[in-house]
Amino acid sequence: MMKKFFLRIICIYIIVSYAFIPYIYADDIDVSEEFSFDSLQVSSALASDLSINSRAYVVIDRNTNSIVLEKNSNQKRKMASTTKIMTAIVVIEHRDLSETVTISKKSANTGGSRLGLKTGDKVSVRDLLYGLMLKSGNDAAVALAEYVGGSIEGFANLMNSKANELGLKNTHFETPHGLDSDNHYTTAYELALLSNYAMNNKTFSTIVGTKSCTIFINGYSKAINNTNELLGNLSGVYGIKTGFTNGANRCLVSACKRGNLDLICVVLGADTKKFRTTDSIKLLEYSFNNFKLIDVGKLAEEKFTNWKKEYEQHLFIDKGISKTISIDMKNFEHPIIPIHKEKGSSLCVEIECDKNFIAPIHANQVIGLINIKCDNQIIASSNIFVTKEILKKDIWNYLNEFFSNYISYFENFVQL
């Protein structure tokens, strides 16, 4: 009787354990309802209330890294499998993709979403990267981390070193796969910056832009599909990565380009796969419908040219050999930026510059500032600088000036 009782307890434990494993260890294993693209219609009429479910999001312009839309974009959050963006770029920058990796027992036993690797399997770095980014294989992540960094910890050091190099101050990595950990976090904005950097790598962008492919494990082919539901379904989307854990909820990073506007959209902490999809679509559609690229550099140059003609008439240079000063403006780092269509008329150029100088004045010395404002907020700035050095007068200059003035006075006196 006791044996039957204990057997029942063991069976119940096994059933319950297997039932909850996906929820405890899952990454990109999402049991929420599948999303139908035909069921969603997004228009610019939703501009005043996008009703975004995600806890944090950001849309940035790829050319300038400027924020188009955001909510809690600097809030530290778990990132799930979007971690693999950093994993992939570190591997690509450190290893030849044709090299072969032998799968360890630790890698083969990694839980969550899997490529299906077994101990002793032999796979190329390239195929592991496809398994990492398309299938979101945690086993592939560990295999690559061990191969490149020697261990999970060693690879995490490489990831954090890269984060520091990119200036990501609120990002920290502990694993190559992104399973929940208190010291493994990023922000929506910094994840967007990392994604933008990674997408500039041709190998990386090719991988994350692949809908499906065939890889080889031990020489045998295996077909895999991309977990990114927007890829191939939303106009202009060409990457990049999904993510899901209990701690992070549903996450999605998307790259989308239409015309000249190229955007990265990050949503973190959505309740369901459907929400992360609809949130991303709403944010992207609103951005493309309501923002346009404006050449603020050209606007500033026109204003500066007209201002300079008037400005030069009111200069005073004390103790300088020259009475005139040659100035110019620095080119804007990002002269073309996205501006909301309704705010384009509020753009203005403000110029602040010194008018009184004491020599010497050095070449390239900054003497003023040009600010581009939109709704009274500075959106771009450039320096005004001196192009040629103006030396300070010495005793010989003063003597020469004195005698020149004396001779001129004497000549005028004689003529009288």
DSSP 314: G
Is residue 136 part of the annotated active site? The answer reads: yes
Torsions phi, psi of 352, nearest 5? -120, 125
State the amino acid at position 30 in one-letter form.
Answer: D
- List, in sequence order, every residue forming a beta bridge with 366; answer none if it has no partner: 385
Spatial CB neighbours of 275, under 8 Å, sequence gap ≥ 6: 53, 54, 250
| Maximal CA-CA distance, the chain | 138
Token reading at 202: 């041709």
Of 153, 88, 141, nearest to 111 by C-alpha is 141
Of the residues 54, 73, 84, 162, which is catalytic?
A: 84
- Alpha-carbon distance of 129 to 125, in angstroms, equals 6
- Alpha-carbon distance of 95 to 101, in angstroms, equals 11
Is residue 84 part of the annotated active site? The answer reads: yes
Token reading at 161: 């070193």
Could you tell me whether strands 316-318 and 327-329 are parallel, antiparallel, or unpaired per DSSP bridges? Answer: unpaired
Of the residues 81, 107, 280, 287, which is catalytic?
A: 81
Spatial CB neighbours of 303, under 8 Å, sequence gap ≥ 6: 349, 351, 370
3-state SS, 122-169, equals EEEHHHHHHHHHCCCCHHHHHHHHHHHHCCHHHHHHHHHHHHHHCCCC
- List, in sequence order, every residue forming a beta bridge with 100; answer none if it has no partner: 124
- Alpha-carbon distances, residue 92 vs 114, 118, 324 (angstroms): 20, 23, 55
Is residue 381 part of the annotated active site? The answer reads: no
Of the residues 73, 136, 280, 382, which is catalytic?
A: 136
DSSP 36: -
Catalytic residue IDs: 81, 84, 136
